[in-house]
Amino acid sequence: MLYSGFSQKTRAQSRTALIIEHKLTSRITNYSFVKDRIVTVRLKTNRRHITILEVYAPEEVREEETRRFYKQLKRS
């Protein structure tokens, strides 16, 4: 499991996780914790590489946080 964000003991905070099947872990060529809400993983397949982007968007009512989140997501 690739995990990004606050400690699991901290409640009601942003964090995201991506679970990769054990037999695929050897195919991971790169991973990055962009922010506490964004994780990227690059896997090598038989024919090409694929990138998985895991995101946890903030609630729409948190306007400033939402704006910062989408700005960061565009840069990723």
**Whether the predicted model's global pTM rises above the 0.75 cut:** no
Angle at 17 between CA 13 and CA 21, to 5 degrees: 165
pLDDT above 70: residue 2: no
Residues 8-43 have pLDDT tens digits of 565 555 677 788 888 988 999 998 887 778 888 999
Cβ pair 55, 41 in contact under 8 A: no
Evaluate whether 56 touches 43 at the Cβ level (below 8 Å). no
DSSP 8-state class, residue 70: H
Q: Retrieve residue 17's tokens.
A: 């996780």
Number of neighbours of residue 62 by Cβ within 10 angstroms = 12
**What is the C-alpha separation between 65 and 67, in angstroms, rounded?**
5
